[in-house]
A and B are shown apart, each in its own frame.
Chain A
Amino acid sequence: MPIVINSLEYQLPADPRVSLLDFIRDHTGLPGTKKGCDHGQCGACTVILDGVRINSCLTLAVMHDNCDVITIEGIGSAEQPSALQQAFVKHDGFQCGYCTPGQICSATAMLAEIAEGWPSDATQDIGTRPSLSDEEIRERMSGNLCRCGAYPNIVAAIREVADAGQ
């Protein structure tokens, strides 16, 4: 079975050692997903797999036949950016831009997780729906490192989109 990436089908690689990240970057012509550490430590490779954000460096491509993957290219383009992508530009939620696709994929899925009521370490009472506090956003985005230190701007961008969506 093929793997579906941004609504297009791709044949899985013959070499079982190919990580999902390397498959996306090197086999599909979609280099928007970044490799920062290859060990699940930085979040630059975050993609949305069957609706859930994952570090694509920590899984093998061959494990995902018939799966549906959304990468940064599937979230929006320079010509037709998503609301989050626009907000990242407006709030300067990046500098070098290398962690940015991962931040945006992660934030896109993270907002859905909050909407579905998933708790986090920052949730005061896990019996209630989590709020959209800055602390919740920061906690849930802490798997995505930004060495340029754009964190406050990233939170501002996410907050703007989250508030508009409520």
Chain B
Amino acid sequence: MTAHMKHDQPDERNVLDHMAQGIIGKSLDRPEGLLKVSGTATYAAEYVIDGCLEGVIVTSTCARGKVTSIDKQSVMSMPGVVDVINEPRMIARPAQGTANEAPEHKVGEIHYWGQPVALVVAETIEQARDAAKNLVIEYAPALAEFNPEDVVPEPQPDGTNEGDLNQAMEGADQCVDLTFTTEGHASAAMEPHAAIAQWDGKMLTVHASLQMLNYNIAELADALKLKQSQIRLISRYVGGGFGSKLGISEEVVAASVAAMVLDRPVRVVMSRQQVFQTIMRRSETRQRVRLSAKADGTFTGIGHEAVVSNLPGEEFAEPVTQSTDFLYAGDNRIMQIAVARIHRMTAGSVRAPGEAVGMPALEAAIDELAEKLGIDPIELRLRNLPDKHPVEGTPYSSRKLAECLTQGAKSFGWKKGKRTPRSRREGEWWIGTGVASAARVHNVGEAKARVTLRDDGTALVETDMTDIGTGTYAILGQIAGEMLGLNPDAVDVQLGDTKHPRGPGSGGSWGAASIGSAVFLACEAIRKELAGRAKVKAEKLTLKDGQIGTGKFSLPLTELIGGKSISVIGHYEPGAVEKNFVASGYGAFFAEVAVNHWTGETRVRRMTGAFGFGRVLNAKTARSQCIGGMVWCIGSALTEALHFDPNDGHLVNCDLAEYHVPVHRDIPDLDVIMVEERDPVASLIQAKGIGELGMCGGAGAIANAIYNACGARMHAFPMTPDKVLSAMPD
């Protein structure tokens, strides 16, 4: 049985609020927690498969050109070497998120430094690694552009141009016209990309570290020219994704091709350096932000234009202006993105594509405008929240931005009034505070999940949806438990296997809302079936702790099931509400920093984030998502930057020693406030996305705090000591 719903109307029933179990939203431990802390959760590379060969990818040492020869004989006589594979089914780039088709295949045509060109397969990893280093490859290099500043960018077709921003700027009481730069980012998930492929002549089984199996199976099928029914993908535990595992990447296809060619299982694990060099980067950006305002703070114009980069032929363009589009008022508007075509590795989704870099720039510009106007920066934002989409006129679904700003300010201890830089000093350190708004568009995707209420009164939830650390195992158990009156312990959640119904995958913060709605629909249908068996209306049912109550009688659920388990596939489909409303998560960041007067070093001393993202499904895992996002704010604000060699285009800092993600000592206590709301448009469970919201703007709050501390106006992220020092007044 299938329970299908297309989300064409807002769902204001808030059904989960009327259930009896009382577990939805509660701060419960992750059900898989003990497996993770004991090292017994099994990640992609850790399945033990007899006779498994080891493959090591060999990558290009030039950034553009052709492979003219691969001398297989240079390694075939080395101990343990089985084969060198470079065939047309392999892929040269990772697939973009939701691509649903194979990416570029031509591994012999080089478009970026570090592009996979071959796979060396041997009996052991040591043998394969050694042979990969000794494989003789010749290239015919070609000239290439590596630097986005050196090429004329191509404007994207879907910009906004309303009114006359130039005129608004000229007529404004106050305005700012600022240029910001952000450097490229790496997802740097802790688990390197890995795959083990097995081929039995008909069926390909791949254990892989992937975020979106429902798309990945189509991408892999397309790459290998197999039917989807010939492929099974398994990703039960994924050691972080952050965008880098949205689409299939080179090791998945290389392992699959090798397994099919050699008729033996093959494991391919990327090195950390290869992950940096061949998987998605977030594009660097150059952004022009213009704001014009009347003396009372009312915005008359808002401009946000960005130049980003990508490889030739890639459609993805970092959507820098995505939330600027609807966040603040202003009749005269320009939003435009242009793409510089250069030969660095594929640019794609890294956590919160667009807002992660666009929001900090916008929010830093607002701080400068607030100073010019002499208006408190929180007050300035509050005065510019439109009633509806500033251009399209569509209503907002739910928006707690004002509440986040005010509640966050209260919790943080934001003092309104004059915000003069260099007001506070402790020894060598200038102390200051800053604020920024958070916004991240809300998305949903089509989702299916099977829920079975079993004979023994327990429930089983099955979907190929993944849990990449986001808490899917926990929240699906809570949704099903709430609906069916079961303790979460009595709900078995099985994820990450394409033998199950297709979920939406984890990406774009849409997982919980989408798959949660599918589980919800299945459970609603099960309740209806139970009501039918009990001969009462579904609304009359009370399900709690494995007991069923009808108002007239109460009995154990197992008696009503009576050996006839109930299995329903919930099928959620996005609908008309997507077009009829603007749906987004909102929030506010507050940061206190210390900036060293002599070295320019910035330390974040405390940070508060207040977020409104619809229903909270599990307060513990939701908070963890928020603090995770805030840690990324600190990283992108202060340390994270990809550096490319301007001469040959190679990524210079391709490991965790040189690409600086935050470490324990960089992170103070983080205060998270979750502003509860119900969003009837966001999903059938009234929940919005949360995984990315926590990093959408926080780097701006840190920039504003640096200015308030030491008087350095920062326009280049990350705000490393050299930049802060040179911007600091004497």
Q: Is the CB of B664 within 8 A of A95?
A: no
Interface string of B646-663 (1 = CB under 8 A from A): 000000000111000111
Q: Given A38, A143, A149, A153, which contacts B629 in the complex, CB threshold below 8 Å?
A: A149
Q: Given B43, B130, B470, which contacts A95 in the complex, CB threshold below 8 Å?
A: B470
Q: Given A17, A98, A148, which contacts B624 in the complex, CB threshold below 8 Å?
A: A148
A16 to chain B, nearest CB (A): 9
Also in contact, A92 and B624, with CB within 8 A (given A39-B272, A98-B191, A144-B664) = yes
B426 at the interface (CB under 8 A from A): no
A73 at the interface (CB under 8 A from B): yes
Q: Is the CB of A152 within 8 A of B670?
A: yes
Residues of chain B within 8 A of A98, CB atoms compared: 43, 189-191, 239-240
Residue of A nearest to B79 (CB): A15
Q: Is the CB of A78 within 8 A of B669?
A: no
Q: Is the CB of B667 within 8 A of A147?
A: no
A64 at the interface (CB under 8 A from B): no
B261 at the interface (CB under 8 A from A): no
Q: Is the CB of B39 within 8 A of A31?
A: yes
B411 at the interface (CB under 8 A from A): no
Q: Is the CB of A138 within 8 A of B667?
A: yes
Q: Is the CB of A92 within 8 A of B125?
A: no
Q: Is the CB of A42 within 8 A of B656?
A: yes
Q: Is the CB of A17 within 8 A of B469?
A: no
Q: Is the CB of B35 within 8 A of A92?
A: no
Q: How far is the CA of A86 from the CA of B34 in the complex (A)?
A: 8
Interface string of B249-260 (1 = CB under 8 A from A): 000000000000
B379 at the interface (CB under 8 A from A): no
Q: Is the CB of B240 within 8 A of A15?
A: no
How big is chain A's contact interface, by range?
Answer: 35 or more
Q: Given B45, B240, B623, which contacts A96 in the complex, CB threshold below 8 Å?
A: B240
Residues of chain B within 8 A of A76, CB atoms compared: 37-38
A34 to chain B, nearest CB (A): 7
Q: Is the CB of B627 within 8 A of A150?
A: yes
Q: How far is the CA of A25 from the CA of B34 in the complex (A)?
A: 19
Q: How far is the CA of A140 from the CA of B661 in the complex (A)?
A: 17
Interface string of B32-73 (1 = CB under 8 A from A): 111111111111011010000000000000000000000000
Q: Given B45, B192, B471, B661, which contacts A145 in the complex, CB threshold below 8 Å?
A: B661
Q: Given A38, A85, A147, which contacts B240 in the complex, CB threshold below 8 Å?
A: A147
A12 at the interface (CB under 8 A from B): no
Q: How far is the CA of A38 from the CA of B471 in the complex (A)?
A: 28
Q: Is the CB of B36 within 8 A of A97?
A: yes
Total interface residues on B, CB under 8 Å, equals 63
Q: How far is the CA of A144 from the CA of B39 in the complex (A)?
A: 16
Residues of chain B within 8 A of A42, CB atoms compared: 190, 272, 656
Q: Is the CB of A96 within 8 A of B239?
A: yes
Q: How far is the CA of A88 from the CA of B41 in the complex (A)?
A: 15
B628 at the interface (CB under 8 A from A): yes
B404 at the interface (CB under 8 A from A): no
Q: Is the CB of A22 within 8 A of B125?
A: yes
B423 at the interface (CB under 8 A from A): no
Q: How far is the CA of A88 from the CA of B39 in the complex (A)?
A: 13
Residue of B nearest to A93 (CB): B37
Residues of chain B within 8 A of A5, CB atoms compared: none
Q: How far is the CA of A86 from the CA of B33 in the complex (A)?
A: 9
Q: Given B41, B190, B627, B657, which contacts A153 in the complex, CB threshold below 8 Å?
A: B627
Q: Given A96, A99, A145, which contacts B468 in the complex, CB threshold below 8 Å?
A: A96
Q: How far is the CA of A33 from the CA of B190 in the complex (A)?
A: 13
B29 at the interface (CB under 8 A from A): yes
Q: Is the CB of B130 within 8 A of A92?
A: no
Q: Given B190, B620, B655, B665, which contacts A99 in the complex, CB threshold below 8 Å?
A: B190
Q: How far is the CA of A38 from the CA of B627 in the complex (A)?
A: 27
**Chain B positions 183-235 with a Cβ under 8 Å from a chain A Cβ:** 187-192
Residues of chain B within 8 A of A95, CB atoms compared: 240, 469-471, 621, 624-625, 628
Residues of chain B within 8 A of A149, CB atoms compared: 627-632, 662, 667
B271 at the interface (CB under 8 A from A): yes
Residue of B nearest to A156 (CB): B669
Residues of chain A within 8 A of B33, CB atoms compared: 88-89, 92, 94
A129 at the interface (CB under 8 A from B): no
Q: Is the CB of B665 within 8 A of A142?
A: yes
Residues of chain B within 8 A of A56, CB atoms compared: none
Task: Provide the main secondary structure of the chain A interface.
Answer: loop
Q: Is the CB of B664 within 8 A of A15?
A: no
Q: Is the CB of B190 within 8 A of A89?
A: no
Also in contact, A154 and B272, with CB within 8 A (given A42-B190, A101-B39) = no
Residue of B nearest to A19 (CB): B126
B30 at the interface (CB under 8 A from A): yes
B707 at the interface (CB under 8 A from A): no
Residues of chain A within 8 A of B272, CB atoms compared: 36-39, 41-42
**Chain A positions 24-57 with a Cβ under 8 Å from a chain B Cβ:** 25-26, 29-39, 41-42, 44
Residue of A nearest to B40 (CB): A78
Q: How far is the CA of A42 from the CA of B661 in the complex (A)?
A: 10
Q: Is the CB of B240 within 8 A of A72?
A: no
Also in contact, A138 and B48, with CB within 8 A (given A71-B39, A92-B29) = no
Q: Is the CB of B664 within 8 A of A153?
A: no
**Chain A positions 143-166 with a Cβ under 8 Å from a chain B Cβ:** 143-155
A130 to chain B, nearest CB (A): 15
A19 to chain B, nearest CB (A): 9
B236 to chain A, nearest CB (A): 11
B611 at the interface (CB under 8 A from A): no
Residues of chain A within 8 A of B664, CB atoms compared: 137-139, 141-142, 144, 146, 151, 154-155
Q: Given A34, A81, A137, A139, which contacts B37 in the complex, CB threshold below 8 Å?
A: A81
Also in contact, A85 and B190, with CB within 8 A (given A38-B272, A95-B470, A152-B670) = no
Q: How far is the CA of A78 from the CA of B33 in the complex (A)?
A: 9
B124 at the interface (CB under 8 A from A): yes
Q: Is the CB of A39 within 8 A of B657?
A: yes
Q: Which residue, of A77, A99, A101, A147, has the highest number of chain B Cβ atoms within 10 A?
A: A147
Q: Given B29, B190, B269, B623, which contacts A147 in the complex, CB threshold below 8 Å?
A: B190
Also in contact, A36 and B192, with CB within 8 A (given A17-B126, A89-B30, A150-B628) = yes
Q: Is the CB of A147 within 8 A of B188?
A: yes
Q: Is the CB of A97 within 8 A of B627?
A: no
B113 at the interface (CB under 8 A from A): no
Q: Is the CB of B37 within 8 A of A35?
A: no
Q: Is the CB of B37 within 8 A of A100?
A: yes
Q: How far is the CA of A30 from the CA of B36 in the complex (A)?
A: 13
B627 to chain A, nearest CB (A): 6
Residues of A in contact with B (beta carbons under 8 Å apart): 15, 17-18, 22, 25-26, 29-39, 41-42, 44, 71-73, 76-78, 81, 85-86, 88-90, 92, 94-101, 104, 122, 134-135, 137-139, 141-155
A and B contact pairs by CB, cutoff 8 A, 17 listed: A31-B43, A35-B45, A89-B37, A96-B189, A96-B238, A96-B469, A97-B237, A98-B189, A100-B37, A142-B664, A145-B190, A147-B240, A149-B627, A149-B628, A149-B662, A152-B667, A153-B627
Additional 6 contacts, C-beta under 8 A, given A78-B35, A89-B29, A96-B238:
A31-B43, A41-B272, A147-B187, A147-B242, A149-B632, A151-B663
Q: Which 5 A-B pairs have the closest CB atoms?
A: A32-B39, A149-B631, A98-B239, A96-B469, A97-B36
